[in-house]
Structure 1
Amino acid sequence: MSSDLPDGPDATADAARVENVRIEDEMEQSYIDYAMSVIAGRALPDVRDGLKPVHRRILYAMHEMGVSSGSSHRKSSSIVGETMGDYHPHGDSAIYDTLVRMAQDFSMRYPLVDGQGNFGSMDGDPAAAMRYTEARMAPVAEELLEDLEKDTVDFQANYDDRLQEPEVLPAAFPNLLVNGSSGIAVGMSTNIPPHNLGEVIDATIHLIDNPDAEVTDLMEYVKGPDFPTGANIVGKNAIHSAYATGRGRLTVRAEYEIDEMASGRPRIVITEIPFQENKARMVERIADDVNEGVIEGVSDLRDESDRDGVRVVIECKRGANVDVVENQLLDHHLESTFGVINLALVDGEPRVLSLKETLEEYVAHRKEVVRRRSEYDLAEAEDRAHILEGRLKALENVEDVVELIRNSEDRDAAKAALEENFEFSTEQAQHIVRMQLGSLTSMEATEIEDEYEDVQAEIERLETILGDENELLGVIKNELRAVKEEYDDDRRTSIIEDDGTVTREDLIPEEDCLVVITEDDYIKRMPVDRFDPQRRGGKGIIGADPKEGDRVSKVFRANTHDYLLAFTNHGQVYRLKTYEIPEMSRTARGKSAVNLLKFDDGEEITAVVGTDEFGDDECITMVTHDGYVKRTCSSEFENILSTGIIAAKLEDGDELVDVTVTDGSQDLVIATEGGMTIRFDESEVRQMGRSARGVRGIDLQEGDAVAGLVATDETDDRSLLTVTENGYGKRTPLSEYRSQSRYGKGLIDIKTDDRNGLVASIKAVAEGDHLVVMSESGQIMRCPVDDVSTVGRNTKGVTIMDVEIDDSVSTVDVLPTTMIDD
């Protein structure tokens, strides 16, 4: 029987090369090699540019093809073919899927590809085939490739060694955080949420200036993830955990509002959905639950979304409890969990990074990029300076140089003669023999000298950058600011607190804000510094956008860390923290207050006081629409239920109008809508319980009603500011209002004729204070108190706010001098 096995000396040599290994060891090592190949080559982004290899290769292929933001669109199939043929040896479907996602504004916070054609939808509709769609780079993507040709990053051979491709892109902004990333590798996965570009750049600059900054410091700039689909993140604790450890679970809640249809039935309108939620599938699941009886009280469900945005309408049955429907939707459909795993490649190895570590790695990358770019530019500038020095030297000896070149046999001989006779370098001599005669004019000589001076200045600048790290960091900061100025936009995702959530007050910046409330109980807060002071008599700017039929009822100042007592027209009082009120833009309507406070029908906030204003023996003093006044010890408001407690018992048709804190030794000034005021000692109003109605404070004329309440004393040098519905007002020293007995008719304070209209509000103001005046339609104006004339009682006043004919002043508050920056 013959054998095919070799024998002889060759067989002995082959046997010597055989190594015996345990099969489990070989399997383990092979699996590790495969896993690392997937981790580094496909699934995880690089911390420096925030891109996976396929994203980077698509952008680089488009860069090489010249498919920039300024060029015409190219067929997606062409881009995919170039990427696959030259750089990414994988299936075309994987490349096209990546290209599509980079073009979807609901997937990328700042899309890197400008797509033309059908690139899919939030309903899960797939993109059209690549032969039908076209694409080009988005402008923001070009910031990632900026200075690529200046040796700013290392290049590596492509898969077949024909071409070179960048290992990483220069990345002029922290793309890993800005656009986020997700991917599943072998044994690990990453899920990094997108963020607001402006916030991330501000945090990066802060870290450059303050290397010892902690995560909590950076969170003053990066409030939280900012999803392209908006919605709300519930709770700050999870955000802090994700930023501090690199891992966290965020609850993302849809944005919706509850309103009434013309028929009076309530409806829930969803306008933003959680990130990566399939809208069509969500609507289908809600419909299934309604049909199966899991969600009760729904009469109709419609998806009215269009190109302008999401709009899913859920109509409730007549008599249905909309709060119950809302809670059922939240439990099953309107909330999702985003699991944060901030895993990225650092020096080729996967690492879970905190917010600070992520930004530190990016700053280190940019330092290397700017250093290498500066070295490249310096070498180019020095080469140019060397040539210019030769040209200047040639101009100084122009006649001899021309004569020498003319007498030379050929160019090589001329170059050799120039090097020997004038000590030109080879590069200088080669340049000189190629010069045209026209460059020997005096004008050309001047231009060469000017260019030489510019090049020397550029060399000096680059040497300074390379020799001083502070200068280098300054370049990085300036370039980041330029990117922010070009691409920054408003935050889309709000961050809210939920009932029962333990908040981290140390993460919430303590700042003064304005809280705006409408009659339909929409509420929001805005930073005070968002409103610059204007001269009196202006129209103001938009401060709220109430829906049709609604109007602004209250604006007041507060600190984000204040506990507020909110008194309503029904005589109830509720307690909430200012930061629980959602912060929103000027033009936003606000969030429904029923999400914060459990109001009854027709109940609205009419007065607010901060609990940190209370002293041991102080009282809450209240006045009603019909002129009743009462004082109740502040200690009776310490334990307030989530459903509120009674603050004052009201007669039918009466409403609580205003509230202030008094210490028992002050005078009360009550003003009416008809322009009357009365001042009396608060001791004339005995302390009484919360359920008491109070005593009469002013004898109102028929048809008149109370407009406001102020507390003062004999040493008070402030003035009483009175503002009318039509935007007129005046200041009168409080000392001009003599004290009377309670329940008198009072004195005339201001004329309430057709020009002025009725009194809208009164406030005690001091020199240097600022007014915040808001109209029913949402216009808001801030102006210095000093702009309002100080006059006597019984006058008309001056224009404070230019109110439109169909609008009127709704509310006024005061920013004291201590809140105003110099």
Structure 2
Amino acid sequence: MAESKSTLNIEDEMRSSFLDYAMSVIIARALPDVRDGLKPVHRRILYAMHQLKNHHAQPYKKSARVVGDVIGKYHPHGDSAVYDALVRLAQDFAMRYPLVDGQGNFGSIDGDSAAAMRYTEVRMQRLTSELLTDLEKETVDWVPNYDEKELEPAVLPTKVPNLLLNGAVGIAVGMATNIPPHNLTELLDATIALIDDPQLPVSELLGFVKGPDFPTGGVILGTAGIKQAYLEGRGSVTVRARCEIEEDKKGRESIVVTEIPYQVNKTRLIERIASLVRDKKIEGIADIQDYSDRTGMRIWISVKKDHAAQIVLNKLYKMSDLQTSFGVNMIAIVNGRPEVLTLEKCLRHFIDHRRTVVTRRCRFDLAKAMARREIVEGLGVAVDSIDRVIELIRSSRDPDEARAKLMAEPLEGFAKFLRRCDRPAEEVARAEEGPYRLNERQAKAILDMRLQRLTGLERDKVEGEYRELCEIIAELEAILTNPAKLMAVIREELLTIRYTYGDPEGQDSGTGAEGSKGSRRTELAVDELEIQPIDLVADESMVVMITREGYVKRMPTTEYRVQNRGGVGLKSGSQRDDDDQIIELFEASAHAWILLFTNTGRVFRKRVFEFPLGTRGQRPKAMVNFLDLKDGERVLEMVAYREEEVDENHFVVLASAQGYIKRTSLQDFTNIRASGLIAASVAEDDKLIDAKLTNGSCDIIMASREGQAIRFDEADVRRMGRTARGVRGMGLRDGDEVVNILVLAREGEDDIGLLTVCEKGYGKRTPVAEYRRQSRAGLGLKTIKVSDRNGKVVGMIKVREADQLMVVTSEGKIIRTPVAGISELGRATQGVRLIRLGDDEVVVGLARIDDPGADEDDLEALEGVAGEDGEGAAQASADADTDEGEGADEQDGADADADADADEPESEEE
């Protein structure tokens, strides 16, 4: 008969076989489980030792005995692979907290191999018992072994977060894990804090776990890599050897290395240093010796007389393994799948595992206690009716008949037994309702009872055991029904582990950092090379300006000394060509954040110091060098704020030229990606013209180009999403448009004046009290008289007497003048000259400088001393340019709410 043949696609077979192999390596060999932090081989080793009763209080057993049990029952791989894993569990230079206590040669930090398994002996460490506690109480699932003749635990019911405690190293298919070891005390403190406050911020969690704690000690440089690893699951930690420079009596220096980075081979390190000296890549080393012994490590490097030891050491850090990088890659198996884990996720998964283990343990203990109470209850009733019980037993042919008779016999005395056991009256009342009947288990226990249980002392023991069992049952039921009590049990067990196994304070060599008291082995130090850009910039006042063509520059405010009003100003160098103009100018500290709003409705976020620093004579840089702007997109407005000064009650208020306004929470702009974020929907015929920061309880003033202004409560503008267009804030006549908005606090701004500046260099300040609060969407009040002399309104700012004003022109000139020199006039006047302008020159921007104080330059300028660039002298009198006598024709406009009907609906959030 011919054999049947089938066709197989080799591509499909290869794909299927490779995926099966890859998943086997990932799940069953290379990656640890997030719950107990163990790979299958390590779990099987510890379980085999547990089965052999190879505990820390028992004598050592041959390593070959343990390896034989592991490969024979649970791990179908080579004995060398299992023994290598067993050896690593016993190495104190590989494990921060070794899980195996080894006797014999288990290798060294020099790379020496361990002795053969027939020569070495092992037993569990004391801490290891905490990984296996309650294993027999049905706390974890059990799975068949490879030949389905044995059962093994799928995970251990560990009481310690072993994944982070000892870390893990493994290379799977297409992925690898590299988790550093940590300090037990720090991990348990963080876990307990997370139990106490499940909403604990990650920043506070990082305060408990300072960083990895390597068994070989060393020094970790900087915290940026640690934070990245804990927050993202991946990062790089720079570890440096602990070195000291010693000087002998003759003044000759030497370098002494007492700790080296984790996973560095000491012999290879010394050979590498010797080769660097031999190849003359490092000069200045006369000799190198290894004086390490059982008391500790000591690598002695002699430095030549004519060389500085610190310079030689720096070269060694750079060119040898005295300084290495530990690449953190926190991948573990979660619910049968590999997952990249953050510090918070690791701890939360451990807490969830403990919750499951303790719940299953309590259920097991409850069932066992209830079963035992049932037996004790039957014994107590039988003792009270002992005569009848004996009679039934004596009249029976065999034990089966005696058991049947006992189960059929109604017994009295259950209520009496409960009273002696101090049970509640409700239970006693229920017991008196009818006779007590024994079940099969109780009857068997009575038949097995020894006669000595009939003595008075034994009867008291039965009653005492019953009381104790009732208390245990009540406590277990309370734990199972109350999640808070369950977490309290877990917390108490973690505290016990912490104080039992945590490193004694001050025991280890590391001095620690940020509050560490010496229990760490690895010191945390500030990395001189890891200086953040903000640390290199003084937090001084800056003037930031952007031009219409998209150029930006910042300069110290001190670049512009004070002049009297009416001067011609100083050149700012802020234009690339004659056609460009400054469209935005403001003062902020160098460390402040800036929100940059564009004409397309997008927003970016930068620090002030991230913009190019220049002087008055330097040209600005293109904004596209700093922001991811699209074609035709340009920055229109900027809002500056200090991060420490804002909270959830702060809002960003945006206004458009057509009078629309919207209010969005500042928190919606805290996480802005490099490509920007949508800030508002802008109509094609409209544009954003201003943005301000409020604290939720302010008044808003909108000023228009034709000299109108309206003041209203910011609460009149409801909170909106980022993509909304907004509602009508100010009504406008034909040809008019909004130029900017102001934010006024309800209290503490009684001395505020509103300074309005027009494009031909004239302006005035008016007390804020003259602007009464109105309903939004009205035409408002007249704030300055627009005339041929003044020109249109450029902007309005709020000022105090002690402030200074900076005005910038279309020619790039800037004047800085004290506000006190500007007359305080009524709303409908024309104002005074602020700056003298050339032909076709107009004012394009203004900014306030908060109470800067006076220096020598200020005093000179106030005395009328002329400076560079030909700035003119002050005007003789402020009143010379005023038009106080002209009528204050007030244009109140309609406050009517009818205009509010023009509000645009808020669009849906993107």
TM-score, with normalisation over the residues of structure 1? 0.59
Distance 1:172 1:22, change over 3 A: same
What SS does the aligned partner of 2:339 have?
Answer: strand
Number of equivalent positions: 493
Structure 1 match to 2:2: 5
CA distance in 2, matches of 1:358, 1:481: 19
Structure 1 match to 2:114: 127
Residue from 464, 468, 477 that aligns with 1:463: 477
Structure 2 match to 1:501: 530
Q: Deviations over 1:125-174 (max 9, x none)?
A: 00011111111111111110000000000001111111100000001100
What SS does the aligned partner of 1:219 have?
Answer: helix
CA drift of 1:323 comes to 2.2
Q: Deviations over 1:633-682 (max 9, x none)?
A: xxxxxxxxxxxxxxxxxxxxxxxxxxxxxxxxxxxxxxxxxxxxxxxxxx
CA distance in 1, matches of 2:18, 2:120: 39
What SS does the aligned partner of 1:220 have?
Answer: helix
CA distance in 2, matches of 1:162, 1:263: 73
Residue from 343, 360, 366 that aligns with 1:372: 360
CA drift of 1:503 comes to 5.7
Residue from 252, 262, 270 that aligns with 1:275: 262
Structure 2 match to 1:173: 160
What SS does the aligned partner of 1:190 have?
Answer: strand
CA distance in 1, matches of 2:457, 2:485: 36
Q: Deviations over 1:45-96 (max 9, x none)?
A: 0000000000000000000011110111111111111111011110000000
Structure 2 residue 98 is the aligned partner of structure 1 residue 69: no
Amino acid at match of 2:520: R
CA drift of 1:462 comes to 0.5
CA drift of 1:319 comes to 2.2
CA distance in 2, matches of 1:184, 1:67: 30
Q: Deviations over 1:430-482 (max 9, x none)?
A: 11111121111111111100010000000011001100111111111111111
Amino acid at match of 2:147: D
Amino acid at match of 2:352: A
Structure 2 match to 1:774: none
Residue pair 1:114, 1:137 contacting (<8 A) in 2 also: yes
Structure 2 match to 1:771: none
CA drift of 1:486 comes to 1.1
Q: Deviations over 1:735-762 (max 9, x none)?
A: xxxxxxxxxxxxxxxxxxxxxxxxxxxx
Distance 1:269 1:121, change over 3 A: same
Q: Deviations over 1:309-363 (max 9, x none)?
A: 1111111111212222011111012101100000000011100000000111111
Q: Deviations over 1:707-755 (max 9, x none)?
A: xxxxxxxxxxxxxxxxxxxxxxxxxxxxxxxxxxxxxxxxxxxxxxxxx
Structure 1 match to 2:381: 393
Structure 2 match to 1:159: 146
What SS does the aligned partner of 2:122 have?
Answer: strand
What SS does the aligned partner of 1:51 have?
Answer: coil
CA distance in 1, matches of 2:272, 2:373: 71
Q: Deviations over 1:460-514 (max 9, x none)?
A: 11001100111111111111111111111111001111213136999xxxxxxxx
TM-score, with normalisation over the residues of structure 2? 0.53
Residue pair 1:174, 1:359 contacting (<8 A) in 2 also: yes
Q: Within 5 Å, which residues of 2 pair with 1:611-650?
A: none
What SS does the aligned partner of 1:495 have?
Answer: strand
Structure 2 match to 1:50: 37
CA drift of 1:22 comes to 4.0
Structure 2 match to 1:103: 90
CA distance in 2, matches of 1:209, 1:227: 28
CA distance in 1, matches of 2:303, 2:201: 48
Residue pair 1:238, 1:248 contacting (<8 A) in 2 also: yes
Distance 1:429 1:505, change over 3 A: farther
Structure 2 match to 1:492: 521
Structure 1 match to 2:345: 357
CA distance in 1, matches of 2:533, 2:11: 50
Amino acid at match of 1:5: A
Distance 1:354 1:402, change over 3 A: same
CA distance in 1, matches of 2:409, 2:363: 33
What SS does the aligned partner of 2:28 have?
Answer: helix
CA distance in 2, matches of 1:129, 1:196: 32
CA distance in 1, matches of 2:307, 2:527: 24
Structure 2 residue 127 is the aligned partner of structure 1 residue 140: yes
CA distance in 2, matches of 1:216, 1:314: 41
Structure 2, unaligned runs of 5 or more: 411-436, 504-518, 536-910
Structure 2 residue 18 is the aligned partner of structure 1 residue 34: no
CA distance in 1, matches of 2:84, 2:142: 26
Distance 1:206 1:504, change over 3 A: farther
Structure 2 residue 452 is the aligned partner of structure 1 residue 452: no
Structure 1 match to 2:864: none
Structure 2 match to 1:220: 207
Structure 2 match to 1:614: none
CA distance in 2, matches of 1:165, 1:63: 12
Amino acid at match of 2:214: F
Q: Within 5 Å, which residues of 2 pair with 1:541-580?
A: none
Residue pair 1:236, 1:503 contacting (<8 A) in 2 also: no
CA drift of 1:21 comes to 5.8
Structure 2 match to 1:588: none
CA distance in 1, matches of 2:534, 2:262: 27
Residue from 195, 202, 212 that aligns with 2:189: 202
What SS does the aligned partner of 1:124 have?
Answer: coil
What SS does the aligned partner of 1:46 have?
Answer: coil
Moved over 6 A (4+): none
Higher mean C-alpha deviation, range 158-167 or range 395-404: 395-404
Residue pair 1:237, 1:504 contacting (<8 A) in 2 also: no
Residue pair 1:257, 1:270 contacting (<8 A) in 2 also: yes
CA distance in 1, matches of 2:451, 2:275: 86
Q: Deviations over 1:682-729 (max 9, x none)?
A: xxxxxxxxxxxxxxxxxxxxxxxxxxxxxxxxxxxxxxxxxxxxxxxx
Amino acid at match of 2:458: E
What SS does the aligned partner of 1:84 have?
Answer: helix
Q: Within 5 Å, which residues of 2 pair with 1:174-189?
A: 174-189=161-176
Task: Name the Cα RMSD after superposition.
Answer: 1.5
What SS does the aligned partner of 1:70 have?
Answer: coil
Q: Within 5 Å, which residues of 2 pair with 1:509-524?
A: none
Structure 1 match to 2:391: 403
Structure 2 match to 1:323: 310
Q: Deviations over 1:529-583 (max 9, x none)?
A: xxxxxxxxxxxxxxxxxxxxxxxxxxxxxxxxxxxxxxxxxxxxxxxxxxxxxxx
Structure 1 match to 2:282: 295
CA distance in 2, matches of 1:124, 1:468: 53
CA distance in 1, matches of 2:159, 2:454: 43
Report percent identity of matched pairs: 52
CA drift of 1:24 comes to 2.2
Distance 1:504 1:391, change over 3 A: farther
Amino acid at match of 2:372: R
- Structure ID, larger Rg: 2
CA distance in 1, matches of 2:491, 2:325: 35
Residue pair 1:405, 1:414 contacting (<8 A) in 2 also: yes
CA distance in 1, matches of 2:291, 2:384: 79
CA distance in 2, matches of 1:503, 1:355: 23
Residue pair 1:215, 1:243 contacting (<8 A) in 2 also: no
Residue pair 1:497, 1:503 contacting (<8 A) in 2 also: no
CA distance in 2, matches of 1:27, 1:94: 27
Q: Within 5 Å, which residues of 2 pair with 1:654-693?
A: none
Residue from 342, 352, 366 that aligns with 2:330: 342
Residue pair 1:304, 1:311 contacting (<8 A) in 2 also: yes
